[in-house]
Structure 1
Amino acid sequence: MQNDNHKALHDVIIVIPSLNPDGKLITLIENIRKDISQIIPIIVIDDGSDKESKSFFNTIQNTYQCQIFTHSINKGKGAALKSAFQTIITDYSTHLGVITVDGDGQHTTEDVKRCIEEFTKNPHSVLLGSRNFENKSIPLRSRIGNIFTRNVINNMNNLNLTDTQTGLRVLPLFTLEGLLEVQGDRYEYEMNMLLYFKDNAIPMKEVPIKTVYIENNESSHFNPLLDSVKIYSVFIRYCTSAVASFLADILTFSLLVFILENHFPSYYIIISTVIARITSGLFNYLSNKHLVFREKRTSSSIHRYVMLFFIQMIASATIVQAIVTFTVYDTAWLIKILIDTIIFFIGFYAQKNWVFKKVSSPAQNITEKL
């Protein structure tokens, strides 16, 4: 049985994206060779590192037989992973899968080995090494950022993951071709990978791993502002579409009032409101379909969108009317802003997970805890 487990380790390729590494990368590779395997394939991507870093890549290539891919300029972690996946599909087609590992010392070889061994028991599932961020010894920025992002991503996408930003992942080989088409070249790519697995009903299993932060995570290349914007890009596009639709509604209404006021003095407000709302609703549907959720297939999403549109409109009117009628709060416009804000977030969830939901195979239990 021990020989079988040892052989199974060799069926997984280790992929390590790296930018301007230090001695921690060499230590990681050395420990992999010592604690896991002398012959397991290791691919390291030099993602546009500076000249001072070249000696580290030369050392791991010559001393520890790593395969080095080099990007002449920094393209991002997502692009680095895609470069490795492309070659693995061609050159390692008989292997079971790939494990991605961060090169900054945050993943122990003990956890890397355990994740590989768990994956070989479930080779058709994605395996995620999940950290616990409740420990107060974790740097405050990382603890708050990871918990907040985890809750937002889980709630927006109907997921149940304890760590949505883990870099320690074991991916079945059959997922790599699809992952090459997943959008994103930097840290947002890892988030989009999870959504790809969910949309295609590929099971994700979690294995608890150690939460390691060296020097308060100062070596991380994660940009809190830029990379967070990319991670939340779908919701940002959704908000932008909503604002644009609101402006379209106001402009259309104002134009129609100007045109129709003298022709239909008794009904121009109603006519203008209806036409403006239909116009802005159609604009919102098309922008959400093609720019926000990027649904490519022809489907019945228009029917679901119209149904949701009327449900939201009726809910808004009914709830606001009820609050004004049956409570002491009679400032209708202020109540409407509050209720419509809540409905706005519910609408995002409904559009992402129902109106524009991608086609997948029959539903499965997406996440399991090991």
Structure 2
Amino acid sequence: MPWRSNIGNSITGGIFRFFWRSGILDTQSGFRALSNSFIKKIIYDIKPGRYETEMRILIKALRDGHNVGSVKISTVYFDNNKNSKFNPVSDSFKVLKQFLLFAILGFSDWVLDYSIFILLSLSFSVFFLWAHITSKVISVIYYFYVNKYIVFNSYRHGLYEFLRYLLVVSFNILITSSLLYLLVSYFQFSQFMAKPLVDVLMFTANFFILKSFVYSKK
């Protein structure tokens, strides 16, 4: 495989397997066999693009519960694929856009959450658990809509998704509040150090929960 294709495929494939726990090795291959029903979904749901389109199709297949497998084949490149329009930097960025958006918007949500927590704790002397719960609740609406429309491009009925999201948030608040109370009350952590530690532990779990439960297109 030419170096440009190899670099881009290694990066996108590795991150794809990490987030989606899939055994697919080549995420950029355009040589695919698709069912008629899934082809119709692609036509209506997948926006046309460049090399990121292959990744979008894979993500949709997994999110919709389709079986996805791979078969090794021989590849032939004419003149070392020198006429390829693939740019290992810009095209890899487009492919990884969903992951990057989730991380960036997740960080902005955490900044909002933590800022409110500090404000309530220091300026209004609110008990740390109540400050934590309040800051979480305030950031819920922001986080829900940025993930819905920007990261996962989901246009399902809003109330249905929001109710599912509330279940996730309730579970999140329960777990983080319990861990926060444990660290502060029993292990003598500073509440301002314990909260970001707890939030970091929940960050990765949130991606999988949101992707498979809240914004699933099944």
On the 8 A contact 2:64/2:216 being kept in 1, the answer is: no
5 Å-filtered alignment, 1:253-292, equals: 267=126, 274-292=133-151
Check 1:277–1:338 CA distance in 2 against 1; reply closer, same or farther (3 A cut). Answer: closer
What are the ranges of 5 or more consecutive residues in structure 1 without an aligned counterpart? 1-137, 360-370
Is 1:186 aligned to residue 50 of structure 2?
A: yes
Check 1:145–1:199 CA distance in 2 against 1; reply closer, same or farther (3 A cut). Answer: same
What's the offset of the Cα at 1:209? Answer: 0.4
CA RMSD of aligned residues (A): 3.9
Is 1:156 aligned to residue 15 of structure 2?
A: no
Counterpart of 2:169 (choices 281, 306, 309) is 309
Count of aligned pairs: 215
5 Å-filtered alignment, 1:201-350, equals: 201-212=65-76, 217-249=81-113, 267=126, 274-298=133-157, 300-319=160-179, 321=182, 337=196, 339-350=198-209
One-letter identity of the residue aligned with 2:104: T
What's the offset of the Cα at 1:203? Answer: 3.9
- TM-score, structure 1 length as denominator? 0.47
5 Å-filtered alignment, 1:67-146, equals: 138=1, 142-143=5-6, 145-146=8-9
Q: Secondary structure at the match of 2:171?
A: helix
Check 1:331–1:169 CA distance in 2 against 1; reply closer, same or farther (3 A cut). Answer: same
What are the ranges of 5 or more consecutive residues in structure 2 without an aligned counterpart? none
Mapped to 2, the partners of 1:256 and 1:324 lie a distance apart of 19
- TM-score, structure 2 length as denominator? 0.73
Deviation sequence 1:35-55 (CA, Å, 0-9, x none): xxxxxxxxxxxxxxxxxxxxx
One-letter identity of the residue aligned with 2:169: F
Deviation sequence 1:36-82 (CA, Å, 0-9, x none): xxxxxxxxxxxxxxxxxxxxxxxxxxxxxxxxxxxxxxxxxxxxxxx
On the 8 A contact 2:133/2:173 being kept in 1, the answer is: no
Is 1:198 aligned to residue 58 of structure 2?
A: no
Q: Secondary structure at the match of 2:22?
A: coil
Mapped to 2, the partners of 1:355 and 1:312 lie a distance apart of 14
Deviation sequence 1:289-321 (CA, Å, 0-9, x none): 232222222264333323332433444455564
One-letter identity of the residue aligned with 2:165: Y
What's the offset of the Cα at 1:270? Answer: 7.3
Q: Secondary structure at the match of 1:167?
A: coil
Check 1:196–1:267 CA distance in 2 against 1; reply closer, same or farther (3 A cut). Answer: closer
Check 1:167–1:267 CA distance in 2 against 1; reply closer, same or farther (3 A cut). Answer: closer
Q: Secondary structure at the match of 1:154?
A: helix
Q: Secondary structure at the match of 1:180?
A: helix
What's the offset of the Cα at 1:208? Answer: 1.4
On the 8 A contact 1:157/1:353 being kept in 2, the answer is: no
What's the offset of the Cα at 1:214? Answer: 5.7
* Between 208-217 and 282-291, the greater mean CA deviation after superposition: 208-217
Q: Which has the larger radius of gyration?
A: 1
Check 1:257–1:266 CA distance in 2 against 1; reply closer, same or farther (3 A cut). Answer: closer
Mapped to 2, the partners of 1:303 and 1:158 lie a distance apart of 27
Check 1:313–1:276 CA distance in 2 against 1; reply closer, same or farther (3 A cut). Answer: closer
Q: Secondary structure at the match of 2:50?
A: coil
Mapped to 2, the partners of 1:170 and 1:204 lie a distance apart of 10
The percent identity for this pair of structures is 26
* Structure of higher RCO (CA pairs closer than 8 Å, 6+ residues apart): 2
One-letter identity of the residue aligned with 2:152: F
On the 8 A contact 1:295/1:356 being kept in 2, the answer is: yes
On the 8 A contact 1:324/1:332 being kept in 2, the answer is: no
What's the offset of the Cα at 1:192? Answer: 0.9
